[in-house]
Structure 1
Amino acid sequence: MLQQIKALAAQYKQDFIGIRQHLHANPELSYEEFETSAFIQTTLTNWGIPFKVLANTGVVGIIEGNNPISKVIALRADMDALPITEQNDVPYKSTKPGVMHACGHDVHTTCLLGAAKILNETKQHWSGTVKLIFQLGEEKNPGGASLMIKEGVLDNPAPSKIFALHVHPGMEVGTFSFRGGMVMASADEIYITIKAKGGHAAAPQFTADPILIASQLVVSLQQIVSRQNDPFNPTVLSITAFNAGNTTNVIPSEVKLMGTFRAMNEDWRFKAHDLIKQQAKALVESMGATIDITIDVGYPFVKNDVNLSAAAKVLAIDFAGADNVSETELRMGAEDFAYYSQLIPACFFRLGAGNKAKGITNSVHTPVFDVDENCIEQGMGMLAWLAVNN
């Protein structure tokens, strides 16, 4: 079966590189993936794979092998893009200014489509059912995974386990990495508005100066991480936007801040929310201003099932060789795949997509991100291989 899967992945490689380039050139933002969804639906229809649509743009396909009720395995790919203007000079460059597949979701969708074609053509050789989850809105709260779960993506039939991959340009093409247990952090969004008396910049004594107050707050909040948190408990608090004023001689009356809080411990996560609110309110009000603070609770942490991930790593060694399989390090990035991992055994692994010799090393979420497209053959083959062996 392994050789058959690898042969089909190699045979269809160029076709799916073409699909990836089509998706890359036509990116869509979170919850707006209508053209992408239609493309997936048409493709599955052409292959005779039944599907249904959830949460407006999510697509869920079903492939039944022999004895379809014996087991159900889910494979998931996200399909939304980011609000970034692409700077790559490539034939498949984004045709939509300000929108770009800068996180590789075009590759993820392509790999799942490729796995679907392989599984559909080999279904007489494996047992069980494979559920194909093409998911909307991974990049933006509340997360498309949460919406699809609410609409029953994990029901009828209910998968016993779920797999997903994510491209990583820091790993060479042809490699994979796995990790059991905690692997990625929770992610919450912080929104703060500080209001105070503004006035002439030459007479600060008649103002409360919200810019100064906000500056103090940005520094002060870091003490929650450095002094309230156990240093062995991974945590990140970053203020990422500071917006105020529009001229040189006026102290404004309002400052807006935005930021993110990441953690790998749910008890500490919500304790920290309370500390952030209490400290911000006390500091700002003590300096003569008012504050409105909202913490938008986002994705929980991603926790890979230990046994499932260990077994997947062994299968990956069979597929790619021991030298090409490593352990994923802990990362403070977030993923709404976490919602699935909280409900059923899950394995979220990385697909090497970089190529130092070709200069393909730029990080995700940048305007120059790209992949070595040879990773598509590897990704589609690995997803199919994991599906038939679990």
Structure 2
Amino acid sequence: MSHLGFTSIDELAPHSGELSHIRQHLHQHPELGFQELQTSDLVASKLKQWGWDVTRGVGKTGVVGTLKIGNSHRKIGIRADMDALPILEKTGLPYASVEPGKMHACGHDGHTTMLLGAARHLAATRRFNGTAHLYFQPAEELGKAGGARSMIADGLFERFPCDAVFGMHNHPGVEIGTFLFRRGPFMAASDKVYVHIDGVGGHAARPHLCVDPVVVAASITMALQTIVSRNVDPSQPAVVTVGALQVGETHNVIPSFAKMQLSVRSFNDEIRSVMERRIRELIQSQAESFGAKASVDYVHGPDVVVNTIEETDFAIAVARELVGDEHVNTHADLVMASEDFSFMLQQRPGTYLRLGNGTGKRGCSVHNPLYDFNDENLPIGAAFWARLVERYLAH
């Protein structure tokens, strides 16, 4: 036990083997968004075994664990995501996915396990006064149509209210056990754009009789790159990426249509609106200039993750107590990735933090077929969550 009477990493270290077993089991049996049936079974079973009140089916496949100790009216909420990605794993690990085309390539298996580790410890030690709600969320990877909004729509904060809500994600490329925080905006808003270009197909030898969607799509792709460089304030971070361009099937046929998919990221509502307007205008004008037609389906995704100051400062203090100042970065860089935890932060004050997943081979990017969560972080993350609860709900 730490000298302050709150959880230390040393208290969780003896359970590292058990936590690794849980994490690797989850890794071996990944489930996509809103399909987390086995995962939610495991989470609910463990929570019940340790004495938590369990509610299932929150936001479809979500699970909420509740533990009330003492008579305080203070309440805290902590969220972990459970879903995997549609990626074919190539790690070759003994616990690699047994589900072809499905993989825990973002570390949600580790996020779930760290919170389970905290749940076990909190139930055993009971060193707090108030109510802790643990939100095991499905379908984070589905963005705006995913688990956060689904749980909120299912009455998450009315049925399981909290005064503040907290979440965590691993961060490849940073030493394990290093906590990263940022006050205010931290992770980007993310929108998806689906483009359909209608041209006129024909023989490759007679291009003058056609309207070639390959040329149209190529011109749109290059023109899109001017939006950030020429329409967005250089001091404002933003990204437009063409992630998919599908057109044609063989060398001697000019196809009749092309499809494109874009990812658009920003940190500012005004910039977000400017980018949408310019993307729509540019796609239409480029298509028309070649005699083609284009349709644009612009889908707004998660909003900007905005951490509140007081709750971020509180979490920073807990991290410093746990691992020391040298392992806490309080001015982390902006992250262009998105998170549907943003919707929870629109409902309650709180903060979203990141935990280094290691460097070198362990620094492999998320959403990569070679990625694996670093099990050395399991007792660290679990101890942080347990200590955060104890400090927030201190006697």
Q: Note whether the superposition's TM-score is higher than 0.5.
A: yes
Shift of 1:4: 5.7
Contact kept? 1:354, 1:371, Cα under 8 Å: no
> Which amino acid is 1:133 matched to?
Y
**1:106-133 per-position Cα deviation (integer Å, ceiling 9, x unaligned):** 000000111111111122x211111100
Alignment of 1:1-390 (within 5 A): 2=2, 5-6=7-8, 7-53=10-56, 54-69=58-73, 71-123=74-126, 125-141=127-143, 142-327=145-330, 328-356=332-360, 359-390=361-392
The answer as to whether partners of 1:355 and 1:372 remain within 8 angstroms in 2 is: no
- How far apart are the structure 1 equivalents of 2:139 and 2:208? 48
Return the offset for 1:275. Answer: 2.0
Check whether the contact 2:62–2:151 (CA below 8 A) recurs between aligned residues.
Answer: yes
1:254-292 deviation digits (Å, cap 9, x = unpaired): 000001100101122123212211221122123111111
For the residues of structure 1 that align with 2:311 and 2:60, how far apart are their CA atoms? 31
Preserved contact between residue 165 and residue 351 of structure 2 (Cα < 8 Å): yes
State the AA in 2 paired with 1:153: L
Give the Cα–Cα distance (whole angstroms) in 1 for the partners of residues 373 and 52 of structure 2. Answer: 29
Note closer, same or farther for the CA distance 1:295–1:177 as it changes in structure 2 (3 Å cut). same
RMSD: 1.4
Instruction: State the distance in 2 between where 1:292 and 1:38 align.
Output: 43
Q: CA deviation at 1:31?
A: 1.4
Deviation at 1:104, TM superposition (A): 0.2
Task: Report the residue type matching 1:370 in the other structure.
Answer: D
- For 2:116 and 2:372, locate their aligned partners in 1 and report how far apart those are by CA, in whole Å: 19
TM-score by length of 2: 0.95
SS at match of 1:172: coil
Describe the superposition over 1:173-226 as per-residue Cα deviations: whole angstroms up to 9, x where unpaired: 222111111101000001000011111111111111011011111111222221
Matched letter for residue 258 of structure 2: V
Q: What stretches of structure 1 move > 3 A for 4+ residues in a row?
A: 1-4
Amino acid at match of 2:34: Y
Q: For the residues of structure 2 that align with 1:226 and 1:28, how far apart are their CA atoms?
A: 39
Q: Which runs of 5+ in 2 are unaligned?
A: none
Q: Classify the secondary structure of the residue corresponding to 2:363.
A: coil
Cα drift, residue 310 of structure 1: 1.7
How many residue pairs get matched?
A: 386
Query: Gaps spanning 5+ residues in structure 1: where?
Result: none
Percent identity at matched positions?
A: 38
| Residues 6 and 391, structure 2, Cα contact 8 Å, conserved in 1 | no
Shift of 1:66: 1.5
Secondary structure at 2:148 match in 1? helix
Contact 1:143 1:299 in 2 (8 A): no
Superposed CA offset, 1:72-119 (max 9, x none): 100100000011111112211111111110000000000011111111
Please give the alpha-carbon distance, in whole angstroms, between the structure 2 residues aligned to 1:171 and 1:219.
34
Instruction: Measure how far apart 1:355 and its partner are.
Output: 4.9
Q: Which amino acid aligns with 1:66?
A: G
Shift of residue 11, structure 1, vs aligned partner: 2.2
- After TM superposition, give the deviation of residue 157 of structure 1 in Å: 3.8
The alignment's TM-score, normalised by the length of structure 1, stands at 0.96
Instruction: Output the CA distance in 2 between the equivalents of 1:151 and 1:68.
Output: 26
Q: Which amino acid aligns with 2:386?
A: A
- Cα 1:166–1:325 change in 2 (3 A) is same
Letter paired with 1:159: C
C-alpha distance in 1 between matches for 2:104 and 2:374: 14
Q: Answer whether contact 1:241 1:257 (CA < 8 A) is retained.
A: yes
Q: Distance in 1 between matches of 2:184 and 2:6?
A: 32
1:29 Cα deviation after fit: 0.8
Counterpart residue type for residue 369 of structure 1:
Y
1:68 offset after TM fit, Å? 4.2
Measured against aligned partners, the alpha-carbon deviations of 1:309-365 in whole angstroms (never above 9, x if no partner) come to 122112211100111111321111101111111221121111122154xx3221111
CA contact (8 A) 2:59 2:152 kept: no
